[in-house]
């Protein structure tokens, strides 16, 4: 554009001035755009369990839980105690950014209780003179049938019987009518469960079906059914596993078929002995009873604690105790 004087004038528009200023400003400064970094790391869960390698335990089982996170200072510690029986636990935790971690434990079995023993048909110290019918129950959800057992052992005979529980049956029945010998027995019940809890019970009992056994010493035994010129130191021995009621013992003494009442202490006396094999009673008769010539008959009848009625006339080794005394020429005599 020309002015009136003929000279040209340059006009700078405001927009051009702004762009030039902005270019110069940007060349002098660097501009940074700030953005927050996203958290994608979930929390960490570490768990330590006592006896973790065992399904069963009889001890208190605990779990120690440690929780850490990259945005957290320190750690969180928790403890979990497993309940008795089957038990497990689950942990789920989420951080502020929404990251979640989950832990689930195995199923463990805690058994803090000993097994229980129930017996039927037998009591400690019991005497049995009939059939033996014993039921033994094992009360435990996790019974170890491989370790649990019942044992019966005789004291004198040394007979031994073993019984085991079936896997699907926690009862043992012991039935016997007459195969067990007369003897003192020990019944031992031992139970163990999968966790190692144990219990044991010992029951002592006696089987006494036969009652007393009577015997004579060899010297007197030879005189039964015979005639002797003298009878001295005559005695009858009674052996029994059970104690005999000697105060109610019935002693029959006959001379020439006439019964004579005997007085304890003068006509006869009694010696008693207790041993591991039972009781021994010795009836010792006075020599004065056999002074006269004639036929003598003796019998002893007792009752023992087992309820057996014992009699010398029933014994195969004693039969009827009958003999004769004659001081002089030997006369004929028949036992019958």
Look at residues 207, 232, 260 and tell me which one is the last residue of a structural domain.
Answer: 207
Closest CA to 49 of 104, 98, 130: 104
Lowest mean pLDDT among 135-139, 215-219, 282-286: 215-219
What kind and span of H or E run contains 18? helix 14-28
User: What's the domain range around 271?
Assistant: 213-325
Cβ–Cβ < 8 Å for 236, 220: no
Question: Does residue 137 form part of some domain?
Answer: yes
Bridge partners for 143 per DSSP: 193
Closest CA to 173 of 158, 183, 185, 161: 161
Give yes or no: residues 238 and 293 share one domain: yes
Instruction: Report residue 85 as tokens.
Output: 């029986």
Give yes or no: residues 314 and 219 share one domain: yes
Res. 301: pLDDT tops 80: yes
Instruction: Report residue 293 as tokens.
Output: 């010539």
Which residue matches tokens 């005639």?
227
Q: What is the pLDDT of residues 111-157, one digit of tens each?
A: 999 999 999 999 999 999 999 999 999 999 999 999 999 999 999 98
Q: Which residues contact 26 (CB under 8 A, 6 or more apart)?
A: none
Question: Does residue 31 form part of some domain?
Answer: no
Average pLDDT over every residue of 170-178: 93
Question: Does residue 27 form part of some domain?
Answer: no
Coil/strand/helix, residue 271: strand
What pTM, to 2 d.p., does this model score?
0.75
Question: Does residue 142 form part of some domain?
Answer: yes
């Amino acid at each position: 554009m020309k002015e009136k004087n003929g000279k040209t004038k340059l006009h700078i528009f405001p927009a051009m001035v702004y762009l030039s200023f902005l270019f110069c400003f940007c060349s002098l400064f660097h501009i940074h755009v700030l953005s927050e970094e996203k958290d994608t790391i979930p929390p960490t869960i570490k768990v330590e369990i006592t006896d973790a390698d065992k399904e069963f335990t009889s001890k208190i089982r605990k779990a120690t839980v440690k929780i850490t996170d990259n945005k957290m200072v320190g750690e969180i510690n928790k403890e979990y105690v497993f309940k008795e029986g089957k038990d497990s636990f689950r942990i789920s935790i989420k951080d502020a950014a929404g990251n979640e971690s989950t832990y689930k434990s195995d199923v463990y079995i805690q058994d803090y209780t000993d097994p229980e023993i129930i017996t039927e048909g037998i009591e400690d110290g019991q005497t049995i003179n009939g059939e033996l019918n014993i039921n033994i129950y094992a009360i435990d959800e996790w019974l170890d049938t491989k370790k649990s057992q019942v044992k019966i052992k005789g004291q004198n005979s040394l007979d031994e019987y073993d019984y085991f529980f079936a896997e699907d049956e926690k009862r043992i029945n012991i039935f016997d009518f007459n195969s067990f010998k007369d003897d003192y027995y020990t019944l031992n019940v031992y139970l163990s469960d999968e966790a190692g809890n144990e219990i044991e019970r010992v029951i002592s009992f006696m089987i006494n079906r036969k009652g007393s056994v009577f015997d004579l010493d060899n010297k007197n035994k030879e005189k039964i059914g015979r005639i002797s010129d003298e009878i001295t130191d005559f005695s009858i021995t009674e052996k029994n596993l059970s104690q005999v009621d000697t105060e109610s013992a019935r002693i029959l003494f006959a001379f020439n078929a006439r019964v004579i009442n005997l007085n304890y202490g003068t006509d006869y006396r009694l010696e008693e002995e207790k041993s591991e094999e039972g009781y021994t009673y010795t009836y010792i008769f006075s020599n004065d009873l056999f002074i006269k010539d004639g036929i003598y008959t003796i019998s002893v009848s007792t009752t023992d604690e087992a309820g057996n009625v014992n009699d010398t006339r029933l014994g195969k080794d004693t039969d009827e105790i009958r003999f004769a005394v004659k001081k002089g020429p030997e006369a004929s005599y028949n036992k019958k």
